[in-house]
Structure formats: structure tokens, C-alpha cells
Amino acid sequence: MGDTIANLKIGEIGIIQDFCLDAIPLNLLEMGCLPGKEVRLLQIAPLKDPLYIKVNGSHLAIRIETAKQINITKLR
Amino acid sequence: MKSNSLLNIALVGNPNTGKTSLFNQLTGLNQKVGNYPGITVDKKQGRCKISEYLTAEITDLPGTYSINPTTLDETIVLETLLNESNNSYPDLVIVVAEVENLKRNLFLFSQIKDLQFPSILVINMSDQMIRKGITIDIEALKRELKSEIILISARKNLGIDDLKREIENYENWNTEPIANISDKIDTVFFETIKTTFPEFSLYKSWLLITQQKNCAFLSSELYQKITAFNPDSEKVKKYQHKETIYRYQIINEILKKTYAVDKNEATDLRSRLDKILTHKIYGYIIFFGVLMLIFQSIFEWASLPMDLIDSLFANVSELAKTNLPKGTFTNLIAEGVIPGIGGIVIFIPQIAILFLFIATLEETGYMSRVVFLMDKIMRKFGMSGKSIIPLISGTACAIPAIMASRNISDWKERLITILVIPFTTCSARLPVYAILIALIIPDERIFGIFNLQGLTLMGLYLLGFAAAISSAILLHNVLKIKTQSLFVIEMPNYKLPSFKNVFYEVVEKTKAFIFGAGKIILALSIILWFLASNGSEKFKNAAEYVTTQESAKHLNDDVLNKKIASYRLEHSYIGTMGKVIEPVIKPMGYDWKIGIALISSFAAREVFIGALATIYNVGSDGVGSGTIKERMAAEVDSVTGEKRFNFATGMSLLLFYAFAMQCIGTLAIVKRETKSWKWPILQLTGMGALAYIVSVITYTILS
Ligand SMILES: Nc1nc2c(ncn2[C@@H]2O[C@H](COP(=O)(O)OP(=O)(O)OP(=O)(O)O)[C@@H](O)[C@H]2O)c(=O)[nH]1
Ligand SMILES: [Mg+2]
């Protein structure tokens, strides 16, 4: 129910459900951030933004606005 | 037309996979390598002998995750691959991948294959496989991808010969596409495309349609054909999404059979280091500690070699004076050119240390962590976390720093970064700062440890950053450009720096600094010398004028000669020009000689000292001697008899140099990168006005 990457706590894993294509940079998709993939939140920058995630084998930093657009279901 | 024997090869791949490392191995060149995604931001070419009969022109390209570009450097890749008439249009493509993130690398490889270039997959960093517990079944992968594959280590120079041998055979490579986008997405739509553009591969036509705005090279005929296809952007997005999913499906299937990672073998060095380096408190402490360390070492470690160089150049100058025939030309060499060059060479230690730190940091992978830490803060100033990298490397030189901003995807963030970079204290300012500080700030210690001169220099660096940040805030509020937050940055693995990469980086950069500055100084010294040793009628008859004017005073010869020399200089061409500008610079506390040196240094700041040396040298008519510093210290105001470089004038000059935009090279790069004269002119006038006002105020208050 309404979880996004931005709701994950450090160390938590979620499965990507869907997102609005307009709000997500194409290169994020192309790096493998796609529905069905696991994302793990590794670290949050000191001012709560950006987020450091691991998805599809890539270690990436994305901004919170982007993270809020990606719906997930939490694992565990 | 390209000659038959020369094969065009393009190196394409994800950022940070080792394309430039491979390029350097193949061509023997030393292009910049670093463990940060986005080191290469431009095309670079070099020759490589593939076999006895085959020579190749290799093009190193910026890294990209996909052919669909999101940043300017990635657009270069698109253009190289789609524009058949560009001179590096490849006959074959080497896709450089890396063992760890093969999945994402194959995504790009599948796109290249679909463009139907003869292409080979090179999997780099094989030396890391054991440590990371990775196994790849190369033979199976070759079969699945219907492609040639070579495992190499560019760092360890393994597999390069195999690669060359395979390239010889490129005409027999399979060029079938991997993904059948037509069937999987929208058959009708793609079949129409196919029949409209029978001359291209389907994927190329699709890219031309979706990337029109990045394809400035299209002929108008082709452009019309393409725009006829304008699908709405919703549809494009949906199809690109489907295409991405589809490509990963294919790749996942293939990798399941061919690629394995033993998790137990994988060390978690990354996560442990990340916990500390990106920690909300330690992260910042470490970052500022690193910055402090860099500045401290620049000032502390460099002082001994700098003294050595200083005395060396004094000796060379002396040697030239005693061994060359006497005359003003010898003086130009001995007292203008040699000290002018010496004034640059002396900074080799400091610059080398600066580059040593920057290159080492870039190789470790730390830079991306800084980007992560600083993004939120930098955004308040209208920039991106990625702006930190150009701002730090701007302390060396603004030109590569401005280029480095290419991987900032948002135009506003990038523009602001470009505009404020010239405020950071670049190495060309160092020579000017150093000599002025030595003249006006006492060499004392306060609290027993901090050297006052060192502190002043540090203060000027901080001032530069402060000016950059404040003007960024101003621009952020003034510029009305829509931003879209498309920030994504990869966090690479930590690596031990390669000694060779760091070493070459230091050598190349230092060389560029010395030769770049050396050439300008040499040329300008000669021009100034010529203008100062020739003049109008009053110049030619200076001796007569002065003798008759001063005849009543019965001066001794020495004083008289000095008067003649300075009279002559004032009436030389340069003196005449100087007098014209004097009213403008007087409020800043400068005389016309400083004014001329100031104007000469609008081409490049570091020319200032050499220009002053040349002018003073001609003015003294060969009688005086000593280093530039002694000369400057001895110079007095002809009216008041006070020291020329007193505290007020010195401070005013320091601040002028801190703020003014005096670098033709930077202006040219800004024009090129922003594609408009508007921005370099804004920098020139804005920074110039600021510098002028600050200098006038400073001088007025202090004098
Ligand atoms: N261990 C290991 N490291 C390598 C190897 N090849 C390159 N590297 C390192 O990988 C990092 C990236 O190398 P580059 O050659 O700059 O990569 P690039 O693909 O040109 O990167 P961009 O220009 O940023 O796209 C550097 O730190 C290299 O030292 C290799 O074979 N083994
Ligand atoms: Mg590179």
C-alpha cells in the first residue's frame, strides 16, 4: 500500500511494482531499474537526499523525488 | 574518403569499464583514466597497428549506459554511431564491458548489435574475477550472443593481443541483430518504418525517429522523412520501456546459462567503506579533512623543491647575462624571459602535488561518494552534486573543469557550474598570488604555527570558493530555466589507484601547464619588449630632452641615465598606451606599468609577472639586476617616492586577480560548451566589473 523507494529504511529490500514513465529518467530504466526487480536501500545522504540504492547489480544514487515515484512492495 | 587500409574502430561501453585504459594500451597514448563514471567527455583518436597489414584509427568515446543519451557526452556517442559522414564513423565497434556488471553492459551491447555494426564484446577487468568469485562461460556466451568475445585486463595488459588477432578477422563477424523489437512491441508500426527506410537497420531508423533532437547532422531530406513519423511522446516512452524490458529478458536468459557469482567469495569492502565515507557525520569530516590535507601539502611539501628551482633560475639568468653579448636583447632574455618562465616552473611542485591528490582520489572511487554527500547542498546553490568534481578540478585549471561538467544532465545545473568555475583559484593564479603575498605580507607565524603568508593564500582559495557559491546562488535565482531532476549517478567500486595512471596524469597535466604558459609568456615578453624599446620622436631623442631639461641641476651621470631610461620608457609605444589607460586603473592604485602587465595577463593570468619583469628591465636600461621580486620591491612611485607595491596596491591586485576573468582559453571553452557568446561575455563583464569595484574599494580603504 503506497510504499515507494523513499519509504525504505537502510538495509531494507523492496520489489519494484510500477512507476509513472514520465517521472523516471530513461537511463534509470536502462540501468535495470524495472518492475519486478529487487531494490535495496544502502545509504541515505545526510540531508535525507539523495538515496544510495542497489538495483539489478548496479549501485546508484538517485534523488528523493525520483525515489518517491517508484512504487514498491517491501520484503520482510 | 577514408583510405582503404585504415580501419575505423570505436570504443563504446558503459562509463568506467576501462575504455580509455584499453585505448591507451592500443594506441600507446596517455589519455586520462579514472575510477569515476564520466572521466572521458569527448572523442579522442589514436592509431593502432593491428597487424602487419592493418592499421586502425581508434576512437575513444565517453561512457554511456545506452545509445539513448541523457547527457551531452553521451550525445557524442549517438552522433558517432549514427552519422555516417562523421570522420570517425566506425567500420567496427569494440564494446567494452566489465566482469562485474555484465548484465547492464550487455544491454548496450545488444543495442550496438541491433545497429548491425560488426562488433566484438570485450570483457575487461578479468583480473578481478577471482577476488569477486565470478565465473563466465565464454564459449557458451559466444554462442548465445552469436558474437566474438574476448576477456581482457586493460590494467594488466592481458588479452590485448588476442583482441588484435580477432579484429583482423572482422569481416567474418556475424552482424545479425539480437533483439527483434518489431515483433515484440508493435509489428505494424515497425514494419512501416522498415519499408520507409530500407537503407538502414530497423534499430537505426527507430533511433533516428526517437532522437531527432540529438541528430543535428541529418540531411534536410532525411529529416523530413523522419519527422513525417513523429509519434507522440507517450507512445515513444511506452515503446522505449517495452524495449528495455525486452532486452533485459533476453540478457537474463543468456546470463542464467553463462554467468555465475559466488557470493561467499565476494568481499564486502565496498559496504564497509561506504558506511564510513558516506556517514552523515564522518563523511563530512573525512571530506573536509581530505581538502585540508591537500591544501596543507601544497604549501608545506612544495616549499623545498620550490626554493631549489628559484635559485636554479637565478643562476641560469646570471649565466645568460655573463655569457651572452651585452645589450638590451640579452637583458630581455636574462631578465624578462628566463625569470618569466622561472616564475612558472617554480610552481611545478605545487601543481604536481595538486594533480597527484586529484588523480589519486579519482582512481580510488571516492569522488562519487563526495557527489553523493554534496548533492543536496549543491542543489541549494542551483548546482548538482556532480558539480563538485569540476569545482575541485578547477583548482588546477578551469578548462578541463568546464569540460568535465558535460556529464551533468540538467542544463541549468550545468550552466551555473560552468559560469562559476572560473572563480575557483586555478593554478595560473598561484604565481601572481605567491609573488604579491611575498611582497606585502610579512613572513611571520601567528600562534607559533600558522604561517601568515600561507594563511593569506588559503584565504584567497576560500574567497574563490565563496565567490563561486555566492554567484551560483545569484544565478540560481535569476536564471529562469526549467529543471528536471534526472540525477542518477553510479557508485563505482573502490579500487587501489594504479600508480601508472596517477603518474601519467601528473606528468601530462604538469607538462601542459608549463608549455601552455611558457609559450604565451615567451611571445608576450617579446612583443612587450619590442613595444617598450621602440617609440616616437620623443623616445628616440630622450637623451637630448632629459639633458636639456635637467641641465640646471648638475646631476651625476648615474642619476641622469636613470632619468633618461625612464623618460624613454614613458615615451615608448607601450608607455604611450599605458598613459592612455592610466586614468582607469589609477583608482585601483596601479601605475601604467602594472596596467600594461594587467592587460597582457588578460590572455592568461600567469603572464603578469613576466610582463612586469620585461617592462622593468627595459626601463632600467640594463643597469639594475636581481630577481623579479627584488625589482618589484625596489620599484617606487615617481611622484610620492613611496613603494609601488605597498599593502594597499598589493591587496587591490590580489583581489583583482581573485575575481577577474582573465583567461582567453576559458572564454573560448565556455563559448563552445554553451554554444553562445552570451555566457562568456557575461563572465567577462560580470567578473571584470566585480573585480574592478572590489579593487577600487580595497585600495581606497587601505590607502
Ligand atoms: N582492476 C582493474 N581495473 C581496471 C582495468 N582497466 C581499467 N581499470 C580501472 O577502471 C577505472 C576506469 O577506467 P577508464 O579507462 O577511465 O574507464 P572508461 O571506460 O574510459 O571510463 P569513462 O571515460 O568515465 O567512461 C580506472 O580506475 C582504471 O584504473 C583492469 O583491467 N583491471
Ligand atoms: Mg574514458
Q: ipTM of this model?
A: 0.94
Residue located nearest, by CA, to atom 9 of ligand 1: B18
CA distance A4 to chain B (A): 17
pTM score, whole prediction: 0.87
What number of other Cβ atoms are within 10 A of residue B51's Cβ?
A: 11
Residue of B486, B507, B524 lying closest to B610 (CA atoms): B524
Give the domain-ending residue among B557, B591, B624: B624
Give the pLDDT confidence score for residue B626 in this predicted structure. Answer: 62
Here the CATH number for the domain that contains residue B110 is 3.40.50.300
Cα(B105) to centroid(ligand 1), Å = 14
| Residue with grid cell 568555475, as numbered in its chain | B421
Extract the C-alpha cell encoding B29. 597514448
Give the pLDDT confidence score for residue B491 in this predicted structure. Answer: 92
Residues 6+ away with beta carbon under 8 Å from B121? B95, B97, B106, B109, B145, B147, B148, B149, B150
Distances in whole angstroms, Cα of residue B701 to Cα of each of B6, B493, B589, B594, B653: 67, 53, 11, 20, 14
Give the residue from chain B lying closest to A22, CA to CA.
B237
Distance linking the first and last C-alpha atoms of chain A: 14
Show the domain range for B548: 535-624
CATH architecture of A5-75: Roll (2.30)
Q: Which of B101, B107, B280 sits opposite A30 (nearest CB)?
A: B107
Residue located nearest, by CA, to atom 17 of ligand 1: B18
Give the pLDDT confidence score for residue A17 in this predicted structure. Answer: 92
Instruction: Tell me if B102 sits within 8 A of B121, measured CB to CB.
Output: no
Classify residue B312: in a domain, yes or no: no
Cis peptide before B349 (omega within 30 of 0): no
Residues 6+ away with beta carbon under 8 Å from B569? B532, B575, B615, B618, B619
Domain count, chain B: 2
- pLDDT tens per residue across span B119-155: 999 999 999 998 888 999 999 999 999 999 999 999 9
Distances in whole angstroms, Cα of residue B606 to Cα of each of B431, B432, B511: 6, 6, 15
Q: Ligand 2 is a single-atom ion; what residues have CB below 5 A from it?
A: B 19-20, 39-40
Answer whether A25 sits within 8 Å of B240, measured CB to CB. Answer: no
Give the residue from chain B lying closest to A57, CA to CA.
B101
Give the domain-ending residue among B589, B624, B659: B624
pLDDT above 80 for B400: yes
Give the residue from chain B lying closest to A28, CA to CA.
B488
- pLDDT tens per residue across span B419-433: 999 999 988 898 889
Residues 6+ away with beta carbon under 8 Å from B24? B30, B31, B33, B154
- pLDDT tens per residue across span B51-65: 888 999 999 999 999
Mean pLDDT of B277-287: 90
Classify residue B586: in a domain, yes or no: yes
Distance CA B656, CA B651 (A): 8
Query: Please, what is the average pLDDT of chain B?
Result: 87
| Residue with grid cell 568481499, as numbered in its chain | B267
Give the pLDDT confidence score for residue B1 in this predicted structure. Answer: 37
Interface test with A, best of B252, B372, B379, B383 (most A CBs within 10 A): B372
Chain-centroid distance, C-alpha B235 = 40
Give the domain-ending residue among B573, B602, B624: B624
Sign of the C-alpha dihedral computed for residues B205, B211, B216 and B220 taken in this order:
positive
Distance CA B466, CA B424 (A): 9
Mean pLDDT of B631-646: 81
Give the pLDDT confidence score for residue B267 in this predicted structure. Answer: 59
Classify residue B53: in a domain, yes or no: yes
Sign of the C-alpha dihedral computed for residues B548, B549, B553 and B556 taken in this order:
negative
Confidence grade of residue B266 (pLDDT, cut at 50, 70, 90): low
CA distance B280 to chain A (A): 4
Distance CA B190, CA B194 (A): 6
Residue B123 has phi, psi (to 5 degrees) of -100, 110
pLDDT above 90 for B224: no
Atom of ligand 1 nearest to the CA of B64: 25
Select the highest-mean-pLDDT range: B73-82, B531-540, B608-617. B73-82
Mean pLDDT of B220-231: 82
Distances in whole angstroms, Cα of residue B11 to Cα of each of A31, B107, B422, B426: 20, 16, 32, 32
CA distance A1 to chain B (A): 24
DSSP A4: B
Instruction: Tell me if A11 sits within 8 A of A23, measured CB to CB.
Output: no
pLDDT above 50 for B111: yes
Q: What is the crossing angle of helices B282-300 and B366-380, to 10°?
A: 110
- Choose the residue to mutate in B98, B130, B155 for probing ligand 1, maximizing ligand atoms within 8 Å of C-beta: B155
Least confident range from B282-296, B362-376, B557-571: namely: B557-571
Extract the C-alpha cell encoding B315. 643562476
* Residue ranges, chain A, pLDDT below 50: none
pLDDT above 90 for B5: no
pLDDT above 70 for B161: yes
- pLDDT tens per residue across span B285-341: 999 888 888 877 776 777 788 888 878 887 887 888 788 887 777 777 776 777 777
Residue of B23, B11, B13 lying closest to B155 (CA atoms): B23
Give the pLDDT confidence score for residue B623 in this predicted structure. Answer: 47
Q: Which of B372, B485, B492 sits opposite A45 (nearest CB)?
A: B372
Instruction: Give the three-state DSSP class for B599.
Output: helix
Residue of B537, B529, B530 lying closest to B567 (CA atoms): B537
| Residue with grid cell 553523493, as numbered in its chain | B372
Give the pLDDT confidence score for residue A12 in this predicted structure. Answer: 92
Answer whether B240 sits within 8 Å of A46, measured CB to CB. Answer: no
pLDDT above 60 for B2: no
Classify residue B117: in a domain, yes or no: yes
Residue of B451, B434, B395 lying closest to B606 (CA atoms): B434
